[in-house]
Amino acid sequence: MFIGYFTERPYQDQKSGYFGAAGRDIADLGISNREYDPRLGSDLYNRYLDEKVYAEEMGFDGLMLNEHHSTPFCMGGVVNVEAAILARITKRARIVILGNVLPIWDDPLWLAEELAEIDMISRGRLVTGWVRGTGRESVAHNAQSPFNWDRFQEAHDLVLAAWTRSGPFRWEGEHYNYRYVNPWAKPYQQPHPQIWIPGVMSRNTVKWAAEHRYPYVMLATDLEPTKGSYDYYDEVARESGYEAGTQHRGYLFKVHVDETEELADQAARKYVEGPSNPFLEGNQGIVRPYLQNLPGMTSRTNLLPTVTSFTQARARGRLAEHEQATAEAEGKVEAADQFGTYENQKERMTIITGTPKTVIPKVRHVLEYLRPGSIFFWDGDGAMDHDDAMRSLRLMGEEVIPATREIAKELDLKSPFEVDTMTNDAVAEEAVAAPAG
Amino acid sequence: MTTAEQTWTESTTEVAGLGVRSLQGGSGPAAVVLHHSSGNLGWIPFYEELARSFRVTVPDLPGYGQSQRPAWARDARDVAILMDRFLARVAPEGAVLVGLGFGGFIAAELATMHQERLGALALVGAAGLQPEEGELLDQMLIDFPEYMAAGFRDDARYREFFGEEVAKEVRELWDFSREMTARLSWKPYMFNRRLPHLLPEVRTPTLVVAGGADRVVPLACARQYATLLPNSALEIVEGAGHFVDYEEPQALAALIARHAGA
């Protein structure tokens, strides 16, 4: 079992008016950065890095970072900078980037160099992950949305080639062209760091990940459709000639632990308050379907929604693609909370909160039901402050993580560091041991 | 409209291995109309008006509507090359080329490449030039119905044309069209920095038309076209928005007929 820690690093501005229940609506790509206060940004970046260091002390195996652009809900626009700092200031935990938004890179060779440097500085602790990004990311860095999936695949191929083929060589692709690929940096881990693919609803991506034998990390989706996606992964795996195992399954879910049930409830409510991800259910932000659903982000050959994709889209409280299209046509702007309040999410266990005593059985339920080899606790988000985050981290370290490891052992949940996802062979003991700092 | 009353026919022409579907109607000298980026709604009143003076052909631009997608096409110029070949097949003797909005951009590109093909040119609310004043309204950043509404002089006129509830088929057409447009015009959006340098070479008699209340393509673009094209005249249709063809079909058809001497 691999246990990681995640927060989306929201830009929490107590004075902004869009913080908490008192304020203005947050519409996606709807806030001018004239309100951005770099001093506050400085405090927050440092706070989040400090929390990551503490998470390592508390025994987490991985520190997960993500990337979004032009939005207050996630400060990880240049996630590789955070990863590079963590590479130096942490000693043991793996740095898990889930993920870099591949299609918006016009120069993915530069990304290959950055990630190789991070892997070297961390002495082999990088886990890379790549995503297609939402419409927001394509707008923010002006990447042509109809070629999003093509660019994702080609950038992946290019980065891998840059890491594994001896240079110099030419790269003449459909979207990327280089006359001299010969980066003077190589990943510490050979042939390259593990690649995990995070996702929510794209069958394309699940299929692609399964075909490549990359672990697929479902991001805070409801339990049932998450299982549905794993089943689909397993199906593709069998078609590709192998049996997928727990090592191929990752799951991110919201877990906040606190000293009392009352404190837990107070803090966990903050998941859906303040500048947290407006695409999550219960959130106070406003989704703009026409940005989310930029032209061509979804292949029109798969235009007709299947029941499955509809379920998966709904699973995260997001509008399904066709609902988005309809809303778009009808000129509606949808608030994301239509599918569930905080209470509703708690009931469905998309938010797990309480004291260690009440949280651990719920974590057990998730592990039993989904059988993931890697999990990430998503905490410290929305309007949660540093104290909320630190209390939870401490209790996770003291009680939840050790208990979770025991449960995982009992359930035989193996991570990609215990069972090689490419061969399904057990990983040698010395390789399992965390690298020295 | 019943079949008996139908005044137009439909056909498919092969260009570069792709089927290009078009509607035809009327008689007289050939006129070919290139539609807006929002797609071809069918045989609209403007075509019917134009068909009083011309043998009108309206292709679905490659990748739009019922025409096959050139997956390789990356800009308006690529489509202009395809349309040049289309004209060679449907109007080998020469044609009046009418470009609407994005279709105007394509028509202007085509004229820089093969003006001998054209008897006359009409650019209506044409995109293609970076406006010296104002900005082109970006359909990628707003809700598409909002974009379409901005194409009319006011929202009431938009609702009059498309109804309170836009038909599902139309919404689908918009959705598909927007994807093709995103493949062809992303950055820079809706203009080509190379185009203004070539327009002064185009001797084709050109009528530059813009709606006086165009909220999509700034009027500056029409003035720039009129300045750059040496044999051009500028007509502002007061009271019309960007979609002059939707809002003022009779007036626009009459202007084009007069310009082409038909």
- Distance between CA atoms of A318 and B71, rounded to whole angstroms? 30
Cβ contact A329–B183 (<8 Å): no
Angle at A397 between CA A46 and CA A92, to 5 degrees: 65
B residues 114-143 lying closer than 8 A (beta carbon) to A: 140-143
Helices (H), chain B: 45-50, 76-90, 102-114, 144-150, 155-162, 168-184, 195-198, 219-228, 244-247, 249-260
Q: Which residue from B166, B171, B179 is facing A295, i.e. has the nearest CB?
A: B179
A145 interaction partners in chain B (CB closer than 8 Å):
140, 182, 186
User: What 3-state DSSP class applies to A195?
Assistant: strand
Taking the CA of residue A14 and the nearest CA in chain B, the distance in Å comes to: 29
Cβ contact B176–A145 (<8 Å): no
Q: Residue A275's pLDDT is what?
A: 65
Among B186, B189, B190, the strongest candidate for a mutation testing the A interface, having the largest count of A CBs within 10 A, is B186
A106 interaction partners in chain B (CB closer than 8 Å):
none
Which candidate, B24, B23, B26, places its Cα nearest to that of B52? B26
A330 interaction partners in chain B (CB closer than 8 Å):
145, 165
Contacts of residue B7, Cβ cutoff 8 Å, sequence gap at least 6 = B25, B26, B43, B48, B51
Per-residue pLDDT of chain A (437 residues; tens, 9 = 90+): 999 999 999 888 766 655 444 455 677 788 888 888 999 999 999 999 999 999 999 999 999 999 999 988 899 999 999 999 999 999 999 999 999 999 999 999 999 999 999 999 999 999 999 999 988 899 999 999 999 999 999 999 999 999 999 999 999 999 999 999 999 999 999 999 999 999 876 788 899 999 999 999 999 888 988 999 999 999 999 999 999 999 999 999 999 999 999 999 999 998 887 666 655 555 656 778 788 788 888 755 433 232 233 333 333 333 333 344 344 334 443 444 444 578 888 988 889 999 999 999 999 999 999 999 999 999 998 889 999 999 999 999 999 999 999 999 999 999 999 999 999 999 987 655 555 44
Write out the two tokens for B173.
């057409």
Q: Which residue from B143, B182, B183 is facing A328, i.e. has the nearest CB?
A: B143
Q: Which residue from B143, B175, B183 is facing A331, i.e. has the nearest CB?
A: B143
Measured between CB atoms, does B189 come within 8 Å of chain A? no
Search chain B and give the residue with CA nearest A147. B183
Which candidate, A246, A183, A266, places its Cα nearest to that of A418? A246
Peptide bond into B188 cis (omega under 30): yes
- Distance between CA atoms of B120 and A71, rounded to whole angstroms? 49
Cβ contact B144–A139 (<8 Å): no
Taking the CA of residue B216 and the nearest CA in chain A, the distance in Å comes to: 18
- With contact defined as beta carbons under 8 Å apart, do A205 and A225 qualify? no
Which candidate, A197, A303, A173, places its Cα nearest to that of A250? A197
Fill in the amino acid letter for A339: F
Yes or no: is domain A2-432 CATH 3.30.450.40?
no
Taking the CA of residue A182 and the nearest CA in chain B, the distance in Å comes to: 29
Cβ atoms within 10 Å of B22's Cβ, excluding its own: 23
Cβ contact B140–A328 (<8 Å): no
B147 interaction partners in chain A (CB closer than 8 Å):
none
Which candidate, A312, A313, A339, A315, places its Cα nearest to that of A324? A313
Q: Which residue from B145, B178, B187 is facing A331, i.e. has the nearest CB?
A: B145
ipTM of the complex: 0.94
Instruction: Give the CATH number of domain B7-260.
Output: 3.40.50.1820
Average pLDDT over residues B60-74: 95
Average pLDDT over residues B128-153: 96
- With contact defined as beta carbons under 8 Å apart, do B79 and B87 qualify? no
Angle of helix A321-329 relative to helix B168-184, nearest 10 degrees, comes to 100
Cβ contact A295–B178 (<8 Å): yes
Which candidate, B157, B139, B155, places its Cα nearest to that of B217? B139
Search chain A and give the residue with CA nearest B146. A331
Cβ contact A146–B182 (<8 Å): yes
Cβ contact B144–A144 (<8 Å): no
Q: Residue B3's pLDDT is what?
A: 54
Among B102, B140, B177, B181, the strongest candidate for a mutation testing the A interface, having the largest count of A CBs within 10 A, is B140
Q: Residue A246's pLDDT is what?
A: 98
Cβ contact B175–A329 (<8 Å): yes
Q: Which residue from B143, B165, B179 is facing A300, i.e. has the nearest CB?
A: B179
Select the more confidently predicted residue: B20 or B5: B20
Compute CA distances A242 → A36, A161, A218, B56, whole Å. Answer: 50, 24, 21, 59
B178 interaction partners in chain A (CB closer than 8 Å):
295
Angle at B106 between CA A173 and CA B167, to 5 degrees: 95
Q: Residues for chain B: how many in total?
A: 262
- Distance between CA atoms of B252 and B255, rounded to whole angstroms? 5
Q: Quick check: B79 pLDDT over 60?
A: yes
Average pLDDT over residues B53-70: 96
Q: Quick check: B127 pLDDT over 80?
A: yes
Q: Which residue from A291, A300, A329 is facing B176, i.e. has the nearest CB?
A: A300
- Distance between CA atoms of A12 and B193, rounded to whole angstroms? 42
- Could you tell me the residue ranges of all domains in chain A? 2-432
Compute CA distances B254 → A365, B40, B43, B236, B257, whole Å. Answer: 74, 21, 17, 14, 5
Regarding beta strands B18-25 and B55-59, do their DSSP bridges make them parallel or antiparallel, or are they unpaired? Answer: antiparallel
Q: Residue A320's pLDDT is what?
A: 37
Cβ contact A144–B186 (<8 Å): yes
Measured between CB atoms, does B144 come within 8 Å of chain A? yes
- Distance between CA atoms of B74 and B78, rounded to whole angstroms? 7
Q: Which residue has 């005044």 as its token pair?
A: B7
Search chain A and give the residue with CA nearest B186. A144
- For residue B17, with 0-12 CB atoms within 10 Å meaning exposed, 13-18 middle and 19 or more buried, which class applies? exposed
User: Which residues of A42-168 form beta strands (DSSP E)?
Assistant: 62-65, 94-97, 100-101, 126-131
Regarding beta strands B118-124 and A216-219, do their DSSP bridges make them parallel or antiparallel, or are they unpaired? Answer: unpaired
B residues 146-185 lying closer than 8 A (beta carbon) to A: 146, 165-166, 171, 174-176, 178-179, 181-183
Q: Residue A285's pLDDT is what?
A: 67
- Distance between CA atoms of A342 and B202, rounded to whole angstroms? 64
A147 interaction partners in chain B (CB closer than 8 Å):
183
Q: Quick check: B15 pLDDT over 50?
A: yes
Compute CA distances A300 → A146, A320, B176, whole Å. Answer: 10, 15, 8
Q: Residue A340's pLDDT is what?
A: 59
B174 interaction partners in chain A (CB closer than 8 Å):
329
User: What 3-state DSSP class applies to A388?
Assistant: helix
Angle at A102 between CA A99 and CA A104, to 5 degrees: 120
- Could you tell me the residue ranges of all domains in chain B? 7-260
Q: Which residue from B141, B145, B183 is facing A296, i.e. has the nearest CB?
A: B183
> How many residue pairs bridge chain A and chain B with CB atoms within 8 Å of each other?
53
Q: Residue A383's pLDDT is what?
A: 85
